[in-house]
Amino acid sequence: MADLPYATCPYNKEHRIWKLRMPSHIMKCSKSYKGPPLAICKYNATHRVPPSAMEDHLEECSDKQLFHSYEIGQIAL
């Protein structure tokens, strides 16, 4: 269990969550979030960033290549 990858919650930096549980955590945590709005990454819905930083995030997103490789695979079918 110690080798499970963790991520930091975009709504509360004190929350360290297993990546597998992040989608459900984000739904729960976003309801009580009182900060500035966060935009959702089109490559991974668990990535939440300020709208002003979204363009930079999309260029550097770690899931961009995975997203496009899946998209190309679907076209080939």
**Which has the minimum average pLDDT: 17-26, 48-57, 64-73?**
64-73
State pLDDT tens for residues 7-17. Answer: 999 999 999 99
* Residue 54 structure tokens: 């979204």
* Residue 33 structure tokens: 């979030």
**Contact at 8 Å (CB) between 29 and 9?**
yes
What's the average model confidence in pLDDT over 63-68? 84
pTM of the complete model: 0.77
**Band (66; pLDDT cuts 50, 70, 90):** confident
